[in-house]
Amino acid sequence: MAGPGRDTAVPLVSYLALTPAPHLVANECTACGARYFDRRNACAACPGTSFRPAPLATEGTVRTFTIVHMAAPGVKVPFVAAVVDCGGTQVRANLINVPADPDHVRVGLPVGLAVYSLGTDEQGTEAIGFGFEPVQQPVTQED
């Protein structure tokens, strides 16, 4: 993110907030609580037309995933595309900082939001993307 030699950090998507700490923000229907990441004029779940920002949990669990082996030219494969349950809100994102194989990824895997640099332009503006990475589980001693 913004640091020495960088003027600005800009999130790749509008629902990624970088401050005070990185988190995702959904649009929540004030009538029924349905959440969306895109702009809405009306709720798809009820007749509601009013929305409020709703910060999401930064940790969740993998609900489903696929390991992608073929992609557009220039996209490094394999990678893991997943749906992560963040406190009841489903987020589509890539899993990062984990090998893209079924020995390292599973349904129910605890993950946390992670941001990373997509590059910096000539004016010093850094583009910031997000994904989810496995979180360390506390080690418990067996008696």
pLDDT at position 73: 93
Lookup: tokens for 17: 């907030």
Question: Over 60: is that where the pLDDT of 17 sits?
Answer: yes
Question: Over 90: is that where the pLDDT of 139 sits?
Answer: no
Question: Over 50: is that where the pLDDT of 5 sits?
Answer: no
pLDDT at position 142: 59
Confidence label for 128 from pLDDT (cuts 50, 70 and 90): very high
pLDDT at position 140: 58
Distance CA 88, CA 46 (A): 18
**The model's pTM:** 0.86
**Mean pLDDT across 72-87:** 96
Confidence label for 82 from pLDDT (cuts 50, 70 and 90): very high
Confidence label for 136 from pLDDT (cuts 50, 70 and 90): confident
